[in-house]
Amino acid sequence: MIWNETKECMSRDQMSALQSARLVKLVDYVYHNVEFYRKKMQSIDLMPADIKSIEDITKLPFTTKDDLRDNYPFGLFAVPNTEIVRIHASSGTTGKATVVGYTRYDLDIWAECVARCLSMAGVGKDDIIQIAYGYGLFTGGLGAHGGAEKIGATVVPMSTGNSKKLTTMMVDFGATAIACTPSYLLHISEVLASEGLLDRIKLKAAICGAEPWTEKMRNEIETKLNIKAYDIYGLSEIMGPGVACDCEFHKGLHVCEDHFYPEILDTTTLSPVAEGVTGELAFTTLTKEGIPLIRYRTKDLTSIDRTPCECGRTSARISRFKGRVDDMLIIRGVNVFPSQIEAALIEVEEVTPHYMMIVDRVNNLDTLEVQVEVDQKYYTDEIRAIEALTKKIAHVIQQALGINAKVKIVEPQTLVRSEGKAVHVIDKRKLY
Amino acid sequence: MFAKQLTVFIENRSGRLSEVLHVLKENNVNILSLSLADTTEFGLLRLIVDNAALGKEKLSENGFSSLLSDVSIIKIPHEVGSLQSLLKIIDNNGVNIEYMYGLSIESDEAYVVLKASDIVKVDEILTANGVHTITCEELANI
Ligand SMILES: [Zn+2]
């Protein structure tokens, strides 16, 4: 089912005209309401009137995650707090979180976009959907929730962390859809299998996102649970889940491009590349009021296809992600930067600044091991002291990253000290 | 008096223990006693050797982290209950024992290596109770 045929199936010319009109309005809006953008534009001698159509977008400056950090917490908001009705936050590259704010209108648009995605997955008002993304500062839970309510589905706000309760309710409530990370869903399928519940579920569709996954994982999910699995994409800086989603033909993710204008940039020159060429994805939020962003660099690598899809939609499709420009990892759906570990470890005087992160997937759940070396001054002959230190480091990491890590103290001088950019991550998962 | 114990941190990887022992052997550091305390991830190899400083230096040259710490090496009579009466003395004075291990030497005496929460106090207690403690050097000459 197509939720909003007018917007999702308009001709390319119409879409271009709509995007142009919205961009012109947006640039005028940020120029007058966000000092950061006004200064940036003034520094390159650009006036709002210089932006006349969507083609002019390349004249505008980029926005990065660092810009959000430098303007922490509310510096990039275009409206006063009286208009902001919700705050979300995600990991920053260092200790500071990336904070975003939503007006009531922004939440409506968000629900609209998620509604389109759920419709693409065949989920509607007859469905009972379990939302098993985290509820809280993370956009996953509340974002999917808003869209599911908008389509009139029966929403079960499971959040994360209790697989047993989830599988029990899945059976007892006759849940027909679920929204969660793909790795968590694979884990759930194993829990269901071990409890002998696989033939008692009524599940038909899963909307999976918040982490990269492969076609192989989709096949595995679909076979094990006998359902259809869909890929949903989003990032809190732009909105949250629902920026794009794939339809039943799985030929890339349809972008809600009347709200988020996608560009694919050459990773060196940052100039837009031709259709089909892989580059860094950037978004301009065409309609956002709370924290409108211009040419926000996502660091995700993908390509774009603007040809009409077999499903009837004409919206541009981005391919499955091919990697990241930076070193960000997604562990259990949580964005993690190695620099965060580094910043956290500086607080622990007993260890050297050298560390290694080993990311793996065991029984479909991501695991993170952090290896550290103890500073010579803190060597001990007591097991208890080492165990206490291990616990302390794990706590510091948990506080900084929001995920549990297994801390392993290793012998001195065993962690690599490479010249220049040290390798701090071994990711054993095959995600791209 | 105190004795110097050499403690080596080793990861639970195969061959690490024997590598430590090999380094010591190559440098003529004689092991008088050892105890290995281990967890699933790592082990602490506690050694009483004839020359702890040399052992530490050579281990460090070979990439092992080690630590010299003061412990008490206590001579106890080869009699039933002698160890227990020793512990009683320490307990009665409110000092916790962190760990302890035995030493076997071909002589009529038995020795235990003891690390307490307060090593100075334990040394005073032992002296006051006429319990004899020795150094590694003395031990090496037995
Ligand atoms: Zn389609």
CA of A310 to the centre of ligand 1 (A): 6
Q: Given A374, A384, A411, which is nearest B10 (Cβ)?
A: A411
The residue with greater pLDDT, B8 or B38, is: B8
Q: What is the pLDDT of residues A19-30, one digit of tens each?
A: 999 999 999 999
The answer, yes or no, to whether residue A420 has pLDDT greater than 60, is no
* SS3 state of residue B43: strand
* SS3 state of residue A39: helix
Residue A91 pLDDT grade (very low, low, confident, very high; cuts 50, 70, 90): confident
A56-70, A139-153, A298-312, A326-340: range with lowest mean pLDDT = A326-340
CB pairs under 8 A between A and B: 47
Kind of pairing, strands A279-285 and A296-302?
A: antiparallel
Task: Tell me what pLDDT residue B27 has.
Answer: 96
The CATH 3.40.50.12780 portion of chain A extends over: 5-326
- Residue A407 in contact with residue A372, Cβ under 8 Å? yes
- Between CA A242 and CA A302 the distance in angstroms is 17
Q: What is the mean pLDDT of residues A154-164?
A: 95
What ipTM was reported for this prediction?
0.83
What domains can you pick out in chain B, each with its CATH number?
3-69 (3.30.2130.10), 71-140 (3.30.70.260)
Residue A354 pLDDT grade (very low, low, confident, very high; cuts 50, 70, 90): confident
Instruction: Give every CB contact of residue A19 below 8 A, 6+ residues apart in sequence.
Output: A54, A257, A258, A261, A286
Mean pLDDT of chain A: 94
Structure tokens at A297: 């660099």
CA of A120 to the centre of ligand 1 (A): 8
A113-117, A157-161, B37-41: range with lowest mean pLDDT = B37-41
- Residue A102 in contact with residue A85, Cβ under 8 Å? yes
Q: What is the pLDDT of residues A28-62, one digit of tens each?
A: 999 999 999 999 999 999 999 999 999 999 999 99
Q: What is the pLDDT of residues A180-230, one digit of tens each?
A: 999 999 999 999 999 999 999 999 999 999 988 989 899 999 999 999 999
Tell me yes or no: is domain A331-427 CATH 3.40.50.1220: no
Kind of pairing, strands A334-336 and A228-235?
A: unpaired
CA of A333 to the centre of ligand 1 (A): 25
Q: Given A383, A413, A414, which is nearest B44 (Cβ)?
A: A383
Q: Which of residues 55-84 of B touch A (CB under 8 A)?
A: 63-67, 69
Task: Tell me what pLDDT residue A121 has.
Answer: 97
Chain A nearest CA to B41, separation (Å): 7
Residue B107 pLDDT grade (very low, low, confident, very high; cuts 50, 70, 90): low
Cα-Cα-Cα-Cα torsion A218, A224, A229, A233, nearest 10 degrees, comes to: -50
Phi, psi of A214 (to 5 degrees): -110, 165
- A358 contacts in chain B (CB < 8 Å): none
Task: Tell me what pLDDT residue B1 has.
Answer: 83
Quick one: A5-326 is in which CATH superfamily?
A: ANL, N-terminal domain (3.40.50.12780)
Q: What is the mean pLDDT of residues A152-160?
A: 97
Residue keyed to tokens 């908008």: A150
Q: What is the pLDDT of residues A272-323, one digit of tens each?
A: 999 999 999 999 999 999 999 999 999 999 999 999 999 999 999 999 999 9
| Beta-strand runs (E) in A327-418 | 329-331, 334-336, 351-362, 365-374, 406-410
